[in-house]
Chains A and B, each alone.
Chain A
Amino acid sequence: MSWEFAVYGAVNVAFVALVSPLFMGVIRKIKALVQGRRGPPLLQGYYNLAKLMKKETVFSSNSSVIMEIAPYISISALFVAALLVPVIMIPEPAYGMGGIILFLYMLALAKFFTALAGLDAGSTFGGMGSSREMTISAIIEPIIVVVFAALAFALNTTNIYAMFAATAGLGVLSANVSLLPLVIALFIILITETSRVPVDNPETHLELTMVHEAMILEQGGRNLALMEVSHAVKQTLLMAFLINIFFPWGISQWPAGGWSHAAAGALAFLAKGVILAAVVGLFESSMAKMRLFRLPTLFMAAFFLSALTIVMQVFA
């Protein structure tokens, strides 16, 4: 492996891990402000993680080794996924990295082990959360595949590095105006995969409504911190798709761009990420949680938009 790629990998993963709790904090802050509350500080996510890291990890007497290893597998899968999604600089495709299919599998692997850990403790809440998560996944995953297929079709590549390189430096919605519907489709996926209103409510611990929170209810201490980071990293990676394909200012090639461009890219991503997180917060605040049986309509809208993009690319 070349040192340039190793540097890219280390910087990219570290940056994603570092900014992810901030984006979660921005969303929480915006939601609090909309509700007329002052809300927690923007850095509260970091304080919570630091506190959880110091705490003892307690396991249910019914749980198996799955409960212990699931957070580590989840965070590992998402860090590998973070290698595949450039956020501040785009390397040359190398070592088979950057495949969109691998990225989707990494997300699925993390989700699978999170659901398994939910079931493992044998509590009713965990089982219920895992069951709900898998039900929603069974509907949304084919649609995620279609949305990313539309993206690959429109940009003529299945490599994420090549996708971002194709749109980098060309301005808003640069490559093709017919990609516009995919902005909405990717936003729906971002909302669904990060368990946000109207699909799930990350603020609640009410048994009737929680999905993701129910799955990690039995986790504690360091393991809970890892689960929280996994969730935040997943959100940042999905946000990176929206940001770097549709609003690709600031991102540059690596190593051609050098450190100065990489720093500018980091600042640009941070700014755009904060704006997108604020939009997510406002979106969440303006919506009510949907009933489970109405969710397919929302997912079908994402399918319709991505299928329409493919049809436009092929026929028109």
Chain B
Amino acid sequence: MTEEQMLAGSTKNNAAAQEALYNRFSPRMLGVCYRFAKSREDAEDMLQEGFIKVFTQLHQYRNEGALEGWIRRIVVHTCINILKKNKKFNESVDIIHANGLHTREDIIPSIMQAKQIVECIRSLPLGYRTVLNLYAIEGFSHREIGQLLEIEESTSRSQYTRAKAMLEEILVKKQIIQKYRSKKYGNPI
């Protein structure tokens, strides 16, 4: 089924088309959710919420830009909304008070690089993780992050700097990157 057929069918609430669309994009979107979520189960809940929004808002998609990018944007916003609803996230305004928090990097296994990097990101405190995910991977600006998480733009910026430093340290410790190797991170060692 082509992307156009999936789109047309899903807009008409055709179950087969919706399933095809879901099967096409859900693995990558679950990977996105997993970076934000506390557990796989939470990630699946986020994915489900996200795809409900995708299917209910699909008629608004205007073929401007890639469909995957559009879906990803919705899924990321859904993740953030769910995290914001979660009391723990609000309490952890560890967005502000995350200094000195210990990560769980000591339990991260030496498994393949992508998953290992994702696990390293997930080992960061919730606030650090969220800002880093949004800025470094999803391409949000600090202003957008500030609006999204209802924090100051400067807070987002400083938290990202700390998150980045912490993640770098973990990645070096896990021998995924070499320390300050001419600021080149491209090749894993």
Task: Verify that A and B bind, or say they do not.
Answer: no
Q: Which residues of A contact B (CB under 8 A)?
A: none
